[in-house]
């Protein structure tokens, strides 16, 4: 494997085109300054929101127009930082963007405070008397629901002004991870040395069938994690303490209640996912781990061995171009408009493909309103990368539609729903490949890939969520959040799930250091909610064809205009009950059984 690219060395056609946001840093700075000036167009309504429905509508529209512009500014800064976090200019953009957001947030905090002080009857009368205000009905109802937790206008303004400070723990985490960490080389079974980075370990080496290389890379990876564990624990502890303090200030019964409130999810729904999946999925995943151990004649099944491809001599390769064509074919079932958006994204540089020094790890999709989505991945010339791309294109396809058919206020659904469109695309890609191949090894590979998706969402992220649940409980009871506590708790979570099937060493217990999701509230568990829904929606599309696909497109167009339960019910899945979760887990078990039989 060659040395990693510097950002300026990456071929332009394999990078995203940020010119669609701003043609230059200078243009970005000019718009940032203009936003700070134009915030007065909104503050002109301060103290007047209760005067009439017309005045309230004008204020909300003015704020929304400013938010659309701010999204462009913050997205540009965020993507520049994601493409190379080691670049001082990019770091400066991120810092200036954060400062702008905090300043505007403080200035405009009067809106929610004034709305909270209005009688509910006044807001309902405004909605009844001004038809255009009904576009903001969800926003106004959210204010009504949050009313018991609002603080004084002065306090809300102060908290908004501290937004930049509150984001500090995540900045420390990201800067340390992307800018400061370095890793010793790993050695393969032939004695060849390979460079190691966060992205290379998680996207390449963790899947290597070469046990020497895989375990050598793991050793290198863990050694560096060890050196940063106290710094990362301190950053995460500050984030947890901030959330707990905010929950108490706002008079929530718990931090969990506060974090679930904007998701419109009950604690029962949250607990159902955590409890049912851990209980019912563990036996299936232990069978899969035991199969890997047997196939590779491993001395013991280690945590770093859990992602070995089951048939390593069969590793389907693909190019970026071929993967794009295959994905596009697979998504034709969702109709012309959806497929056209995906085609545009593949052909017009929505995607940043290659790893380079300082580039963010993992994969994500950012969907700025009024522009187009942007996708970051680390391409590996494999069909596995094609599935990652299909996943992120699921987010892109979703928001290309939501942003077109909804105004900004109603585009983003609850986090509880957000992973359903992405994981559904993985299901559709798998179905397409299976339908068009008679090769039994390819079928087995695709099933293995699907199980990788379930591992990612039902195991990796769900066990992150279980750690979060424990950490909040411990912190609320007065426990200090330290590296030792986090490592101990993560080790217990992993050991409980894997039993004696997998050896959990300290490196495994340090996986609490690997994901940024802990700084994003109760995000990790939502992966399992989305995948549960998409598993059952894919089944409907498989069985019913076009009618189910058309219904799904209407769900995507709805954006965030409906609560997550209603969106999922619209697609035919009732997530208020445990049954869909058990049905999805049983489907995973059937995939494991088919794999066992194939060997």
Cβ atoms < 10 Å from Cβ of 300: 8
At residue 387, does pLDDT exceed 90? yes
Residue 253 lies in a domain: no
Other C-beta atoms lying within 10 Å of the C-beta of residue 265: 24
Domain membership of residue 100 (yes or no) is: yes
Residue 2 has pLDDT above 50, yes or no: no
Residue at 491 is within a domain: no
State the Cα angle at 381 between 375 and 384, rounded to 5°. 70
Instruction: Categorize the per-residue pLDDT at 251 as very low, low, confident or very high, splitting at 50, 70 and 90.
Output: very high
pLDDT class for 198, splitting at 50, 70, 90? confident
Given 166, 201, 236, the domain boundary residue is 166
Residue 123 has pLDDT above 70, yes or no: yes
Per-residue pLDDT band for 59 (boundaries 50, 70, 90) equals very high
CATH number reported for the structural domain that contains residue 150 in this entry: 1.20.140.70
Predicted confidence at residue 204, as pLDDT, reads 86
Give the residue from 63, 7, 71, 3 showing the smallest Cα distance to 39.
63
Asked, for residue 273, whether it belongs to a domain, the answer is no
What is the chain's length?
Answer: 599
Q: Establish if 77 belongs to a structural domain.
A: yes
Per-residue pLDDT at 200 exceeds 90:
no
Domain count, the chain: 2
**Segment 451-472, tens digit of pLDDT:** 999 999 999 999 999 999 999 9
The tens digit of pLDDT for each residue in 559-595 reads 999 999 999 999 999 999 999 999 999 999 999 999 9
Examine the pLDDT at 203 and tell me if it is beyond 90: no
Q: Which residues lie across from 186 on neighbouring strands?
A: 194
Cβ–Cβ < 8 Å for 417, 424 = no
What pLDDT score was predicted for residue 199? Answer: 80
Q: What residue numbers bound the domain in which 578 lies?
A: 320-440+524-598
DSSP state of 86: T
Does a structural domain hold residue 503? no
Identify the domain boundary among 166, 199, 224: 166
Task: Report if residue 335 sits inside a domain.
Answer: yes
Burial letters 456-479, b for 16+ CB under 10 A, else e: bbbbbbbbbbbbbbbbbebbbeee
Tokens of 458: 């039902």
| CB 374 within 8 Å of CB 365 | yes
Confidence of residue 1 (pLDDT cuts 50, 70, 90): very low
CB 423, CB 530: distance < 8 Å? yes
Largest CA distance in the chain: 77
pLDDT band at 3 (very low <50, low <70, confident <90, very high): low
Q: Which of 166, 191, 214 is the last residue of a domain?
A: 166
**496: Cβ–Cβ under 8 A, 6 or more apart, which residues?**
278
* pLDDT tens readout for residues 28-40: 999 999 999 999 9
Residue 89 in domain = yes
């Amino acid at each position: 494997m060659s040395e990693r690219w510097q950002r300026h060395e990456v071929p332009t056609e394999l990078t995203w085109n940020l010119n669609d946001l701003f043609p230059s840093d200078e243009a970005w700075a000019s718009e940032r300054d203009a936003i700070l000036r134009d915030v007065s167009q909104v503050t002109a309504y301060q103290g007047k929101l209760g005067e009439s429905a017309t005045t309230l509508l004008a204020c909300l529209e003015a704020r929304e127009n400013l938010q659309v512009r701010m999204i462009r500014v913050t997205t540009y800064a965020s993507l520049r930082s994601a493409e190379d976090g080691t670049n001082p200019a990019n770091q400066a953009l991120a810092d200036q963007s954060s400062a702008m957001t905090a300043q505007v947030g403080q200035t405009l905090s009067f809106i929610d405070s004034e709305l909270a002080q209005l009688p509910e009857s006044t807001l309902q009368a405004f909605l009844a008397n001004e038809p255009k205000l009904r576009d903001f009905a969800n926003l106004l109802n959210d204010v009504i629901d949050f009313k018991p937790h609002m603080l004084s206008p002065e306090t809300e303004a102060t908290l908004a002004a501290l937004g930049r400070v509150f984001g500090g723990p995540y900045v420390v985490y990201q800067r340390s991870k992307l800018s400061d960490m370095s890793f010793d080389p790993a050695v393969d079974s032939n004695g060849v040395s390979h460079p190691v980075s966060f992205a290379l370990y998680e996207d390449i080496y963790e899947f290597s069938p070469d046990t020497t290389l895989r375990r050598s890379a793991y050793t290198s990876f863990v050694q560096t994690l060890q050196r940063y564990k106290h710094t990362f624990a301190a950053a995460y502890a500050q984030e947890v303490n901030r959330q707990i303090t905010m929950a108490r200030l706002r008079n929530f019964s718990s931090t969990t209640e506060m974090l679930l409130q904007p998701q419109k999810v009950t604690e029962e729904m949250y607990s159902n996912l955590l409890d049912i999946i851990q209980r019912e999925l563990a036996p299936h995943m232990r069978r899969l781990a035991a199969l890997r151990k047997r196939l590779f004649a491993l001395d013991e099944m280690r945590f770093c061995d859990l992602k070995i491809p089951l048939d390593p001599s069969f590793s389907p390769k693909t190019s970026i171009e071929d993967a794009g064509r295959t994905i596009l074919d697979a998504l034709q079932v969702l109709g012309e408009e959806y497929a056209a958006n995906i085609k545009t994204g593949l052909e017009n540089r929505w995607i940043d493909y290659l790893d380079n020094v300082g580039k963010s790890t993992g994969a994500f999709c950012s969907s700025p309103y009024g522009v187009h989505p942007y996708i970051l991945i680390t391409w590996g010339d494999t069909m596995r990368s094609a599935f990652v791309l299909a996943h992120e294109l699921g987010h892109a396809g979703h928001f290309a539609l939501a942003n077109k058919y909804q105004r900004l206020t109603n585009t983003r659904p609850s986090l509880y729903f957000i992973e359903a469109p992405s994981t559904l695309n993985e299901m559709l890609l798998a179905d397409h490949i299976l339908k068009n191949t008679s090769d039994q090894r390819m079928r087995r590979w695709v099933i293995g890939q699907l199980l990788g998706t379930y591992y990612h969402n039902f195991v990796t992220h769900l066990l992150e969520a279980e750690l979060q649940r424990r950490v909040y409980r411990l912190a609320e009871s007065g426990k200090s959040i330290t590296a030792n506590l986090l490592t101990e708790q993560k080790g217990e979570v992993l050991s409980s799930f894997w039993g004696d099937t997998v050896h959990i060493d300290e490196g495994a217990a340090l996986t609490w250091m690997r994901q940024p999701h802990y700084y994003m509230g109760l995000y990790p568990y939502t992966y399992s909610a989305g995948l549960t829904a998409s598993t059952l929606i894919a089944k409907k599309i498989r069985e019913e064809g076009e009618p189910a696909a058309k219904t799904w497109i209407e769900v995507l167009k709805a954006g965030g205009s409906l609560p997550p339960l209603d969106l999922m019910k619209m697609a035919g899945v009732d997530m208020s009950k445990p049954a869909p979760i058990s049905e999805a887990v049983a489907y995973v078990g059937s995939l494991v059984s088919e794999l066992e039989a194939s060997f």
